[in-house]
Amino acid sequence: MTPLIVLTLVLMWQCVLTGYAYTLAGNAADEGVRAGTAVPRGERQGVCEQAALKDLSAAWRDGASFDQCDGTGYVTADIRLKVPVLFPGSIDFPVTVHGHASTVEEVKE
């Protein structure tokens, strides 16, 4: 019975890590968009990526990829995080989670 209980706990923990990866990806995309709306269009990419990855720990940041921070009329950001196996910073599943955020571009006159 003990191995079954341990296996169940390990599977539940993996589900928690997957959900947490989705939460981190969504929050990182939100932070990137928020930072991107405050700067001119030409400087946006670097600022968005830096803001998106700033709050991620090193274990999550290593498997992260930031796709874009651009748009016409809208500022959108896409980020992908790898789902770790049991512990962040160890082996990653070949599965990535996607975070997307978008907002209306601020007009500066």
pLDDT of residue 4: 92
pLDDT of residue 5: 92
Cβ neighbours of 28 (radius 10 Å): 27
Length of the chain: 109
CA separation for the pair 80, 96 (Å, rounded):
6
89 DSSP assignment: T
Mean pLDDT for back-to-back runs of 10 residues, the chain (109 residues): 91 88 88 79 73 79 73 78 78 80 70
Q: Which residues pair with 75 in a beta bridge?
A: 103
pLDDT of residue 1: 87
CA separation for the pair 39, 103 (Å, rounded):
14
State the DSSP H helix or E strand holding residue 100, giving kind and residue range, or none if neither.
Answer: strand 92-104
pLDDT of residue 107: 57
pLDDT of residue 109: 47
CA separation for the pair 109, 86 (Å, rounded):
50
